[in-house]
Amino acid sequence: MEVSNLINAIIVDDEILALDYLELQLKKFDEIHIIDKFENPVDLLEKLNKRKMDIDIVFLDISMPELSGIEVAKEVMKCSPHTQIVFTSAYDSYAIQAFELNVVDYLLKPIQHHRLLKSIERCKQRLKSSKPTTSTQPKLMVCAFHSLRFKKLNHSNEPFLVKWRTAKVRGVFSFLLHSHGKYITKDLLVELFWPSVPLEKAFSQLYSAIYQIRKSLTAHQIPITITNIDNGYILELNNTVYDVDLFEQNLHKLPKLTEDTLDIHLELIDLYSGDLFYKEDYTWAESSRERLRMMLIKLIRTVCDFYEDNDNFKDAIALYLHLQSLYPYYENSYLKLVKLYKEIGNFNDAKSQYNQLANMLKSEYSLSTTEEINRWLSENHEH
């Protein structure tokens, strides 16, 4: 095997027999190169602090007298973020706490060959996805407009399905996604998603949800990561495009609307395929949902005004109908459509829009159209 394909491994266990046994088992794998082993984890940390070590994976006993495996793993991750951790233990009581650190695996002693093989395969997969690609171009987009979904960024923008263990797991990921790059406390997540569950059980369910999210992301080779920091998490996109960010960033740098730049404005409107998490209807997203909605409405009205100024009434009508399909309770779209249909001499559709407005106001708000609107329609109706 080529040296570049070897996996550099370190073993840490305070029991010499367990240390030697795991070394013997690992030597059965050609791709594993054991660069060192330690009975005392302090020796490992001292070496790491003194010089940079190219470590791909650490097999780490979780229960040791001086420092626990959890404490050692945190220090290793600080010194060498790409290093993968596999915990070994004679007990399964630490499993949830261990997986909170996004470790590769948790192996129960005596370690079986087939379980060790599975851990090494997982490690290879993670190391492969963590290596920088030759191209810096993003390959994936995660979408939150209309509903949570993923797309491959190629010629067809092919979508693909990510299966979530439960709707709650999907919800936690969605919240962290929309808060990406920000530190989110575990207390806040528990309060949002498990408000009526006893605290200890709620935290256990949170840890399980984070584990399931990481598992789904890894299975689909999605480079998004969730890092555990003190009493919270930070989700990082890592070269994955987020459609909401793309919409807001491009909106703020839109060029002046002309015939030459019209397509750029229309592409941005097309990107907004529905309200933020519309299908999921998360209550925590409502303020962001309303803010983005107002941005879209303003953009559509700007383009429609441009169409009107250039006597392009049919395209203005089509765009207002699109706006109306998204927001049937937006009164202004009906009034604009009445005016535009009148401009092209289509009084039947103008009257239809008026009737739809009257019905909407009555059914949703128990309101009637104003005398001013009625008079305007009457004056502009075909005789």
pLDDT in tens, 297-308: 999 999 999 999
- Domain 250-270+283-380 classification at class level: mainly alpha
pLDDT at 48: 82
pLDDT in tens, 359-381: 877 766 665 655 656 665 565 55
**pTM score, whole prediction:** 0.66
Q: Of the ranges 22-26, 264-268, 341-345, which one carries the lowest mean pLDDT score?
A: 341-345
Gyration radius (Cα) of the chain, Å: 29
pLDDT in tens, 282-341: 999 999 999 999 999 999 999 999 999 999 999 999 999 999 988 888 888 888 998 898
- The residues spanned by each domain of the chain are 3-130, 140-236, 250-270+283-380
Residue 1 has pLDDT above 70, yes or no: no
pLDDT in tens, 179-230: 998 889 999 999 999 999 999 999 999 999 999 999 899 888 898 988 887 6
pLDDT in tens, 27-56: 999 889 999 999 999 988 888 877 667 888
Q: Chain-wide mean pLDDT for the chain?
A: 86
> Which is more confidently placed, 98 or 276?
276
Cis upstream peptide for 132 (omega within 30°): no
Residue 4 has pLDDT above 90, yes or no: no
User: How far apart are the C-alpha atoms of 373 and 337, rounded to whole Å?
Assistant: 13
pLDDT in tens, 70-91: 888 888 887 777 788 999 988 8
Residue 383's pLDDT band (boundaries 50, 70, 90)?
A: very low
Residue 132's pLDDT band (boundaries 50, 70, 90)?
A: very low
Which CATH number applies to 140-236? 1.10.10.10
CATH 3.20.20.410 correct for 3-130: no
In this prediction, what percent of the chain has a pLDDT beyond 90? 49
Q: What residues contact residue 364 under an 8 Å CB cut-off, 6+ apart?
A: 329
Q: Mean of the pLDDT values across residues 354-360? A: 82
User: How far apart are the C-alpha atoms of 240 and 141, rounded to whole Å?
Assistant: 6
Q: Mean of the pLDDT values across residues 47-66? A: 83
Judge whether 140-236 and 250-270+283-380 match in fold. no
pLDDT at 136: 57
